[in-house]
Structure 1
Amino acid sequence: MTFDSNTPRQFTRSDNHKMLAGVCGGIAEYFGADVNLVRLLTVVATLVTGGTAALVYVAAWMLMPAK
């Protein structure tokens, strides 16, 4: 995979890796990570932060454009 350093990538929700809103799928595609790992980290972060990470997820759902 080659990257063109002059072209910024857009941070979007995923249509391919979508369970709820595609936020975790979009994050995984952007960083080139496994989508299941991002989902697991999101669930763990939600439990550890007492629900604050869930609010961040909802905010990302509203702010991230769909592909």
Structure 2
Amino acid sequence: MQQLAAHGPNVKVHWRDVKNCGPDTEDRLKARGFVETLPNEKFPDRIGFYMLTEAGYEAWKSKQ
């Protein structure tokens, strides 16, 4: 979440720019409502972008 928080909430970040976020981590963050995934523009069945939600940003800030 630190990598996404550097961009701020509700900002699309390309999946290649997010390191160490595997499918398990992604699933946990999505289940908590902290992260949204957006499809790749060329291949809609694949993840293209991550976006930190307001709830995720607030949770991250509260831990700092």
Scaled to the shorter chain, the TM-score interval is under 0.3
Q: Say which one has the larger Rg.
A: 1
Greater helix share, structure number = 1
The TM-score with structure 2 as length reference comes to 0.26
- Relative contact order, higher structure (CA 8 A, sep 6+): 2
Greater strand share, structure number = 2
The TM-score with structure 1 as length reference comes to 0.26
